[in-house]
Structure 1
Amino acid sequence: MTGRPAARLSGAAYAVGAYVLWGFLPLYFVLLEPTGPWEVVAWRILLSLAFYLMLIPIVGGGARLRAVLASRRLVAWTGVAGLLIFVNWTVFVLAALTGHVIEMSLGYFINPIVTVLLGVFVLRERLRRLQWTAVGLAGLATLVIVVGYGAVPWLAFAVAFSFGFYSLVKRHIGPAVDVTSGLVMESLWLAPVAIAQLVVVAMTTGLTIVSAGTGHGVLLALAGVVTAAPLMLFAAGARRVPLTVLGIAQFVTPTMQLVIGVWVLDEPMPPERWAGFAIVWVALIVFTVDSVMARRRVLTPTVSLTRQE
């Protein structure tokens, strides 16, 4: 019994560490200027692939990776996952380098709501009342932002839906693909795209990894570790803590991004945006309360049976 609380505590620490690192990512990408988004994404793909390939023998994942490669279905699904995470990464970097970090944070705030909607329309899941309330509030928040700000938050939608569909694909694949093998396969699918991007950048503006100085080159070379480290921490945390803990902890990332966008990068935050975000936060509170209550209802019979025994 003593090991379980310790494992949950360490798992929560791993998960929070992952979300904190993701929260700081916009600052890292801003530091990479004058490197453009296409070069950043390309190096992120190739360098993270190199990191994962070095990790495979360390974690003993060779047999699991070969098993995935032997299945055409799993190979195809990892390709779909790779495409979705490519969209997510590209939008993320574009937002960070074009002064739209606040809008990107909105995308990650509404991502849990998007995931719920995908469950309804794709998996035919049924929502509880409080979940529908949260969805309605998220829709109202979006409407407030669109009307007040005068623009549709396309970057936020792109971030939320690309990661939502990515999570859906990962759920569909399930335990058949372990974390490291999945990341290797997704990066392998994207490697030709990344190489093509680097060729185009080299022929047009030139590669900043060699032209912007040694310090900048080293900073850009860290893109693989910066990409892989939070994913590894998240995977370690997800195995040790309940989904409700992960669901609550995930709001660390967009909160940090919002703070960075407003008070560090000095992006505009007019009253209508604050109003929209306030409604989103209410929606997330409703969503989180419902998740906690639902989990307690599931666990209560188990606890009662254990006591009777």
Structure 2
Amino acid sequence: MTAQTASSEGAARGFVYALLAYGFWGTLPLFMKLLAHIPAVEVVAHRIVWSVPIAGAVILALGRTADLKRALRSPRTIALAALTAGLITVNWGLYVWAIAVDRAVETSLGYYINPLVSVVLGAVLLKERLSRAQIAAVALAAVAVVILTLEAGGLPWVSLALAFSFAAYGFLRKTLPIGPSQGFFLEVLILALPALAYVLWLGATGQGHFVWSNPNDVVLLLLCGPTTAVPLLFYAFGAKLLRLSTLGIMQYVAPTGIFLIAVFVFGEPFGQARAMAFGLIWIALAIYTWSMVSQARSSRDAAQGFEHRGG
């Protein structure tokens, strides 16, 4: 097998992994709606608790326990993982709550805005220069936020909080000196003790929903583990095998799925102001994607030219 063939097969596998992850996230509101009668904090606690054995099994299967042991011996790595774990917990909690209270359209907007927020964070924190196309995309997104603010009489805080918390998580997660699957396991491991303590306290005080007299709730809460861990692990494997530009385009699958479910399944309102705002966001993302693909193509052409010159 040639290196080019192996690379193509790897990219194909990566595409399938990423598509499974984003497709799963795009349809996740259907499952989360079944949990709408359970407080978001309790749902998030169960997402954490039942993710631990799944993530742990994957680490064992991959033989990556040595990486994890090194991470556990590093106070800096643990502190950084605790920070990323806190950010993703906030993101999960807000997402679960928003789906339960019929604000799924706002969650889709938040995840549409997320890549543009990441661009802004890169410019502010890393002093990265924005291209004119990226500046135009961010400006259009800002206009969309203004339209939604005027329409609602206040900032679309759910969308902005989801976008900024996930962008900050992604930004800090890149600096975590450990692989994706090991990093996820470390995060849920750090969160597991307070999450388990909370679940046990709910059970002891009779406030919890994980009770055998209600098997439907028990099954739903048990499923919180695989519905959390599996798509994240698929994404981790896909990200290793795909170019960043390909992954960047595919990330719109999830918010598109959430948007379609919110409007056509949940029947959430989608008036003229929201239509204008989403239209601007979609134009902004088209400009951003075009800029990203163009940059990737230019870099690839430059590298090939260097190789042909014998560099």
TM-score range relative to shorter protein: over 0.9
C-alpha separation between the residues in 1 aligned to 2:284 and 2:205?
Answer: 45
Larger displacement relative to structure 2 (185-194 or 262-271):
185-194
Q: Does 1:30 align with 2:33?
A: yes
Larger displacement relative to structure 2 (136-145 or 24-33):
24-33
C-alpha separation between the residues in 2 aligned to 1:57 and 1:212?
Answer: 34
Q: Does 1:171 align with 2:168?
A: no
Amino acid across the alignment from 2:302: P
Deviation track 1:202-251 (CA, whole Å, cap 9, x = no partner) reads 46662212156223312220111111111111111111110011100000
1:33 Cα deviation from its structure 2 partner? 3.7
Amino acid across the alignment from 2:295: A
Larger displacement relative to structure 2 (61-70 or 298-307):
298-307
Runs of 4+ in 1 over 6 A off after TM superposition: none
* Conserved 8 A contact 1:38-1:197: no
Question: Which ranges of structure 2 fall in alignment gaps of 5 or more residues?
Answer: none
Amino acid across the alignment from 2:155: V
Equivalent in the alignment of 1:98: 101
Amino acid across the alignment from 2:33: V
Larger displacement relative to structure 2 (225-234 or 297-306):
297-306
Equivalent in the alignment of 1:145: 148
Deviation track 1:111-156 (CA, whole Å, cap 9, x = no partner) reads 0010011101111111111111111011001001111232321111
Show the 5 A alignment for 1:16-27.
16-27=19-30
Normalising by structure 2, we get a TM-score of 0.94
For these two proteins, the number of residue pairs brought into alignment is 307
Amino acid across the alignment from 2:99: A
* Conserved 8 A contact 1:32-1:219: yes
1:198 Cα deviation from its structure 2 partner? 2.3
Equivalent in the alignment of 2:287: 286
Larger displacement relative to structure 2 (97-106 or 198-207):
198-207
Equivalent in the alignment of 2:269: 268
Equivalent in the alignment of 2:58: 55
Deviation track 1:84-105 (CA, whole Å, cap 9, x = no partner) reads 0010100110111111100011
Normalising by structure 1, we get a TM-score of 0.95
Equivalent in the alignment of 1:117: 120
**RMSD, aligned α-carbons:** 1.5
Larger displacement relative to structure 2 (120-129 or 215-224):
215-224
1:55 Cα deviation from its structure 2 partner? 2.3
Question: Which ranges of structure 1 fall in alignment gaps of 5 or more residues?
Answer: none
* Conserved 8 A contact 2:111-2:159: yes
Larger displacement relative to structure 2 (29-38 or 85-94):
29-38
Distance 1:205 1:151, change over 3 A: farther
Equivalent in the alignment of 1:215: 216
C-alpha separation between the residues in 2 aligned to 1:111 and 1:130?
Answer: 17
1:308 Cα deviation from its structure 2 partner? 4.7
